[in-house]
Amino acid sequence: MGVRRWLILAVGVTAQAMTCTFLYGLGFLLPVVQRSEGLDLGQAATLVATPVVGVLATLIAWGALADRFGERVVMVTGMTAAGGLLVAASFVHGLVPLGAALALAGMGAASVNAASGRVVMGWFAVHERGLAMGLRQTAQPLGVGLAAVALPPLGAHFGFRAALLLPAGLCLLSAVLVLLVVVDPARPERTVAETSSPYRTPVLWRVHAVGALLCVPQMVGSTYALTYLDDQRGWDPVVAGQVIAVVQVFGALGRIGVGVWSDRVGSRLRPMRTIAVLVLGSLVAWAVGDLLHSWVAVAAMVATLIVSVADNGLGFTATAELAGPFWAGRALGAHNTGQNIVAMVVPPVFGWLISSTGYWTAFLVCAVTPLVGAVMTPVRATVDDVRRPRGADREPGRTGA
């Protein structure tokens, strides 16, 4: 199964990327949605965020199903549902029915978020999981990059609803690939330590919180980068989308590099803290550059788009390793739930903030989240800190901070 596991990883990456084209890529259709539906920026951003509502509602449930029945059946079922519902959404008229259809499609796509990470963790050993999960986490920037290239011209020529047929077809194709290639990994024998809840200590809660906080700048960048270049810099939306797509490739490569880095240093959380500090710096530079109407703003925007996505694989890998094989699906679902709460809330909130106070103010507000995330990251946490029975003594001198 040496070669097969890499094929399984490739299919998992593909499936995740295809769902990301609509879960996080509809922001590239914001100008089209505003013009065709007569909406302001906040209203349009709320509509394109509705798939995340569906993800949020079902992530933990899909994770529990993956823990119980396996990853393959969960992914095939969810991807098929997502593709079919996107096709239905392309024929729906009225904002409320359209938003509901997009939310239901997001429910189906959530299956991949929970199960694809679990299957990767099952097929790769601890010394190579950082690389494997880094490769798996390239799915989001690659999917967003594909959306940046394909959706703006499709929306401009055929309209918002017709553009939905692209991610619909990609989701259905991915379901077929999963069915043909993915094999559920073998599971170890159950022990009391591994089957007991890993949430009896605060470690996993802190990892989830940091993952959610670091998702804020990622969502601000992916949602408003194209609009920023259009509104503030006068770029053509199609050209801006192409540039952002190229940047997403570098973001994907960054996730791989960070995964290898974590394997070599033997820690997922120390690199995660370093990335939080780098994101803080890039956001401040973006804000200052915008305030001064400087080219620095565009350079800092590019840096933010690349660095802000680098931590995702680390958070997922740390979550699955700390939770153990019998809680990994639910823990990954919980981790992704926190991130998707952010993904649902950030577009409308920052749309309102940008409209009210300007871009540079919004970027400074956003910079608070990686600052808090850097402080909260439990860099010294170990598996023993999570699975130690309640009331057991801690090692002398260990703080877990």
Average pLDDT across the chain, whole number: 84
Q: How many CB atoms lie within 10 A of CB 13?
A: 22
Of the pLDDT bands very low, low, confident and very high (cuts 50, 70, 90), residue 387 is low
| Lowest mean pLDDT across 64-68, 277-281, 326-330 | 326-330
Token readout for 128 is 């190579």
* Greater pLDDT, 122 or 269: 269
> To which H or E segment does residue 56 belong?
helix 50-69
Distances from the Cα of 133 to the Cαs of 154, 171, 255, 263, 278, in angstroms?
32, 21, 9, 11, 21
Residue 340 has pLDDT above 70, yes or no: yes
Specify the 3-state DSSP secondary structure of 188. coil
Asked whether the predicted pLDDT for residue 193 surpasses 60, the reply is no
- Apex CA 115: angle with CA 109 and CA 116, to 5°? 90
Q: Which helix (H) or strand (E) holds 28?
A: none
Q: Read off the pTM.
A: 0.72
Question: Measured between alpha carbons, how far is 213 from 275 in angstroms, rounded to an integer?
Answer: 12
pLDDT (0 to 100) of residue 194: 54
User: How does residue 284 score in pLDDT terms, banded at 50, 70 and 90?
Assistant: very high
Is 52 within 8 Å of 26 (Cβ atoms)?
no
Going by pLDDT thresholds of 50, 70 and 90, the confidence category of residue 330 is confident
Name the pLDDT band for 79 (thresholds 50, 70, 90). Answer: very high
Separation CA 19–CA 333 (nearest Å): 16
Count other Cβ atoms within 10 Å, centred on residue 141: 31
- Among 21-25, 236-240, 302-306, 322-326, name the most confident range: 302-306
The pair of structure tokens assigned to 77 is 């079922």
Asked whether residue 76 carries a pLDDT value surpassing 90, the answer given is: yes
d(CA 47, CA 94): 11
Judged against a pLDDT cut of 80, whether residue 352 lies above it is answered with yes
In terms of Cα–Cα distance, which of 51, 133, 120 is closest to 340?
51
CA separation, residue 233 to residues 229, 294, 298 (Å): 5, 10, 9
Distance, in Å, from the CA atom of 187 to the CA atom of 190, rounded to the nearest integer, reads 9
Alpha carbon of 385 to those of 258, 279, 368: distances in Å? 24, 28, 28
Share of the chain above pLDDT 90, in %: 30
Asked whether residue 187 carries a pLDDT value surpassing 70, the answer given is no
> CB 6: neighbour CB atoms within 10 A?
14
Tokens of 216: 């804020």
* Contact (Cβ atoms closer than 8 angstroms) between residue 226 and residue 244: yes
Torsion of CA 170, 175, 17, 162, to 10 degrees: 20
Res. 386 pLDDT band, cuts 50 70 90: low
280-298 as b/e, with b when 16 or more CB fall inside 10 Å?
Answer: bebbbbbbbbbeeeeeebb
Name the DSSP letter for residue 393: P
**Nearest Cα residue to 349 out of 209, 212, 224:** 224
Tokens of 358: 């300007």
Task: Assess whether pLDDT exceeds 80 at residue 164.
Answer: yes
CA distance 353 to 359: 8
CB atoms within 10 A of CB 322: 24
Would you state the structure tokens that stand for residue 296, as one six-digit string? 């620095």
394 pLDDT exceeds 50?
no
Distance between CA 102 and CA 111 in Å, rounded? Answer: 15
Please give the average per-residue pLDDT across 85-104, as a whole number: 88
* pLDDT, position 329: 75
Mean predicted confidence (pLDDT) in 82-98: 88
* Banded model confidence at residue 287, pLDDT cuts 50, 70, 90: very high
Contact 167, 20 (CB under 8 A): no
pLDDT at 393 over 60: no
Core vs surface per residue 64-100: b (16+ CB within 10 A) or e? bbbbeebbbbbbbbbbbbbbbbbbbbbebeeeeebbb
What single-letter amino acid sits at 261?
W
3-state SS, one letter per residue, for 337-373: HHHHHHHHHHHHHHHHHHHHHCHHHHHHHHHHHHHHH
Instruction: Summarize pLDDT for 99-135 with one digit per residue, the tens.
Output: 899 999 999 998 987 787 777 777 887 778 888 888 8
According to CATH, the topology of domain 2-183+191-387 is Growth Hormone; Chain: A; (1.20.1250)
pLDDT per residue as tens digits for the range 24-66: 888 888 888 888 777 777 778 788 888 988 888 888 888 888 8
- Give me the residue spans of the domains in the chain: 2-183+191-387
Structure tokens at 311: 């931590």
What average pLDDT does this structure show over 230-241? 81
The confidence band for 279, taking pLDDT boundaries of 50, 70 and 90, is very high
Helices (H), 232-327: 237-265, 269-291, 296-307, 312-323
What is the number of residues in the chain?
401
